[in-house]
Chains A and B, each alone.
Chain A
């Protein structure tokens, strides 16, 4: 004989058991997810390679930029009216940041060296050189647009203006979903509403003007060799191969 009360009791017990299991499972999943999140957050996605004061990085706290400073997913980098910064991503892609810019970097880096990077340009302008050898997906977003890039040298402004020096960029207006692909020596402009994209060509002079200013961050030295002969304290001639270094621009 089965009693209803007993049935209810059994049902309740099963529920409690299932609930307990679910709760424990959720806690475990949460712990695992939290741990995973922690792992993801612990993994740097970029470094500050060079900077010209002043620039700050904000996340929970605000910190002044310094060479070698790590950028984690969700970090915001801000430059003031004189600040420049060069960011080096884990796939060797490089982003140069103009003064009065604000950008948020997000992404993840995987064991197989592939990476996903998203840079939201909330203000100002960036110029990016995406490593074409890397297996990375890079997106640049503004309030009205998003651009997908791969193996490209291009610039982006928070106003939705993009131009390409090398490679190609796919630009989409967020509101309308309209997409255009621009290649070398082309630009694309997404309007404020994110409904329309216009594109066209840029001249060499315009391209040079757009890229100007970033060279302050380029202090790489280019090696040149020269053979020198000179005389030592006793007048004896000695020959040396001298290595000279020119600033690369």
Chain B
């Protein structure tokens, strides 16, 4: 079952708002009140101002609330909208956290939440499927006649029948009821005094729960409850002695064409998608392809292809665009174009995984001709700068290769130990890098066209005088090694998992491994034995002076020279240990993490570094699972190596209570709060502002500390408290013989900054959505209505954003459900006002120590008003079960009443798709 989570607006506020307004790309998303475990939900994000060909990737990063690393999931961005299916399969997860990211072709990205998305992701409570415990009707015996508990029934074979046995006087004035999946079907059932029979007219595939209730005197007793499974279609039943089947190839072919005009620019595209899968004996195979005319050699691959083969449970091969998963601290779904393979033996007690491929493909640098710029001191020319720049979007990327593997011993549900590792390295030969004039002359002499003969002569004699604008891309290398230990006891009530890792990252491997000659240039003395070790390790990781952390210490030798001595830097280590206890309706989770500041991996950018601390969270259920309570405490700190001026302690207290009543006429209510304190235990001190008013002291740019008799620069003091309160109510109700669902959300986030005058912020948002179903009409019809208001102030009130949004959507099914139509009309009104901070030099322009911030003059206040109308229409016509035609149209109109943004043409998109399933 898919529960579509309809989301209204929670629009963004940030310093990048001007970009948002200009691109009409406010993200519209409404987080669900809760997610039910084992049920697939759709998380939907609308970014109406962004069009498909602007998008490189649409990614959703999710993780169980107790994990440190996000798993990324990619989905198709279409028509300004992207939907991610999310299913909570973890038994112990009490919540999930997620953030959304849209990577655009211009290098920018849009996220939701739009600030600190990875540190403050959306948190949603996970609830278990509803269960009610009613008193048992022990005065009524029963025999389940059909179907037997746990059994599966095929189409046309479903009979639910129960025989009842009781004394008449026990059941006077009572009634029997029968519920299927909590839906009362008593009226359709045949109920005699001693037998209850029910034959469902139609049923969807899946697990079904049957419950027989006896009502007497206003009280409900449970007579019997059990589950069975419905499997429609006889074609899924197999022969008696043929567990391994041949499955002929099946799949789908999709062809699409898009016409769009955005900001007056026409950009049409064609794309095709193919999926084929089948089985022959133990061999299963699938082929996937996506080809688009938007493929561009200046971008990472837009078209995707993959082939997968599997031989029983023992062997798995994925070739092409693969998304391997290894562990939380290594790879969690990053795309690799190559091979991902897995071998499993001895009933999954021995597993081996091997991955090899490219994470990035090579994109060549496109340089612009050398710019000659004379340098003057007064009127006197003192030299000339020769700068090699890049064309717009001309900066390239090295081809980046990954090779790695994992070996696991033991069964995953009992005891397992695994070791894993991978190497990521840029191919230094994959693109041409012009880093001096000689190379330029040799490979691209046409870039010299702005040079005179004199310039050429000078640069020939001094090839290193060529300045590279913004520096060339640098090739990097990374080695990650790790291990994982997990076990469970007492029927999985106690589970423990610990993962450790080590990551070595080299930020520039172009010069190769460190050798004695290079060390000498750096003024170091490199022992020949160490040089040999470095050389021998170079197949694994190139070690040189560009390492993010040098595995050397500088030691002064007997002659007074600096000598390199190898040592093991703990900053490259990471550990994440978790213990789950599940007793007495409590799920207690304890976690300790320690991730060094240099634990960086090129294969996973979502790991938070330089952090250590513990998290304790308890989630318990009350009143027969009607109320869920979550209490949590987290204490984290950074500056693990003590090399920064101050250590920031972040303490977070979380609480949440959710009421999920059984009766559908009662509302679902969820309330949550969190209080986060960030304190770097640094006092504000500026001796040059002594005696100044409070608003000056608390706006100081620099902070100082007294060390002995010296006054030294200190870290900026930080003591911030962020309080978040969120509440949501969902109510189902019937009105005018129609069923409706209303959802109301309200949230407020306040940040108080004790030390910085302009550090306070406050955001309030309110949204309401009404969904009505007109199922009794000849043509089923659904209507959606939503409204949002968002008000955000930041910078101590200097920045103010107000957003009002309204949307109306409808969906209907015509022509015996062959034609599905849905449309949407949305309107948003955005008001943005901002005043920047400027530096006041305290009437002392020669000294910066007493500078402080003041708001700019009110006349410089930036104001933008925009109104946006969006009309979106989708239609799908199923000719047969095999053939379908889909069409969608999107029109966006943005007006600017103040005229700051100039005239903006309408954006329109028309998209046609044909799908053939076979």
Contact = CB atoms under 8 A, between A and B. Distances in A.
Residue in B146, B284, B340 with the greatest tally of chain A CB atoms within 10 Å: B146
A68 B154 contact: no
A2 interface: no
Interface string B402-440: 000000000000000000000000000000000000000
Interface string B189-209: 010111101010000000000
A245 B231 contact: yes
A233 interface: yes
Contact of A244 (B199, B236, B325, B340): B236
Contact of B165 (A111, A230, A244, A249): A111
Interface string B230-245: 0100001111100100
Contacts of A247: 154, 237-240
B238 A231 contact: no
Contact of A221 (B74, B154, B195): B154
A219 B147 CA distance: 12
A97 interface: no
Given A67-B199, A223-B229, A249-B240, A237 B194 contact: no
Main secondary structure of the interface of B (DSSP, over half): strand
Given A68-B190, A231-B288, A49 B146 contact: yes
Interface in A12-63: 42-44, 47, 49-50
A90 B124 CA distance: 48
Interface string A210-236: 000000000111111001111101111
Contacts of A44: 163, 192, 194-195
A113 B165 contact: yes
B161 A68 contact: yes
Contact of A246 (B73, B143, B239, B290): B239
Interface in A52-81: 67-68, 70
Nearest to A42: B193
A182 interface: no
Contacts, number: 135
Contacts of A43: 193-194
B240 A219 contact: no
Interface stretch (B313-321, B786-794, B799-807): B313-321
B310 interface: yes
B323 interface: yes
A88 interface: yes
B715 interface: no
A248 B237 CA distance: 9
B161 A230 contact: no
Instruction: Report the contact-size class of chain A (Cβ under 8 Å from the partner).
Output: 35 or more
A223 B231 CA distance: 10
A173 to B, nearest CB: 34
Interface string B210-252: 0000000000000000000101000011111001000000000
Contacts of B197: 47, 68, 70
B159 A219 contact: no
B308 interface: yes
B288 to A, nearest CB: 5
A112 interface: yes
Residue in B193, B199, B237, B335 with the greatest tally of chain A CB atoms within 10 Å: B237
Contacts of B856: none
Given A92-B145, A231-B286, A112 B165 contact: yes
B349 to A, nearest CB: 15
B565 interface: no
B740 interface: no
A236 B75 CA distance: 9
Interface in B275-318: 275, 277, 284, 286, 288, 290, 304-306, 308, 310, 313, 316, 318
Contacts of B335: 235
A109 interface: yes
A47 B161 contact: yes
A243 interface: yes
Given A49-B146, A229-B310, A229-B316, A235 B163 contact: no
Contacts of A219: 154, 157, 237
A91 interface: yes
Contact of A90 (B74, B163, B275): B163
Contacts of A248: 240
Nearest to B151: A220
A114 to B, nearest CB: 10
B243 A224 contact: yes
B159 A49 contact: yes
B253 interface: no
A78 to B, nearest CB: 21
A234 B308 contact: no
Contacts of B231: 221, 245
B191 to A, nearest CB: 12
A235 B290 contact: yes
A156 B73 CA distance: 62
A237 B163 CA distance: 47
Given A231-B308, A237-B322, A245 B75 contact: no
Contacts of A229: 308, 310, 316
Nearest to B206: A243
B103 interface: no
Given A90-B163, A245-B236, A235 B146 contact: no
Name the 4 nearest CB pairs between A and B, nearest first.
A221-B152, A247-B237, A234-B74, A90-B163
Given A88-B161, A224-B243, A236-B323, 16 more contacts: A44-B192, A67-B199, A68-B159, A68-B161, A109-B194, A112-B141, A220-B152, A223-B152, A227-B313, A228-B284, A230-B308, A235-B288, A237-B318, A237-B323, A245-B152, A245-B231
27 contacts: A42-B194, A44-B163, A50-B157, A67-B159, A70-B195, A70-B197, A88-B145, A90-B163, A220-B151, A220-B153, A221-B151, A221-B152, A221-B231, A227-B313, A229-B310, A230-B286, A231-B275, A234-B74, A235-B74, A235-B322, A237-B318, A237-B325, A245-B152, A245-B229, A245-B238, A247-B240, A248-B240
Interface of B: 73-76, 141, 143, 145-146, 150-154, 157, 159, 161, 163, 165-167, 190, 192-195, 197, 199, 229, 231, 236-240, 243, 273, 275, 277, 284, 286, 288, 290, 304-306, 308, 310, 313, 316, 318, 320-323, 325, 333, 335, 340
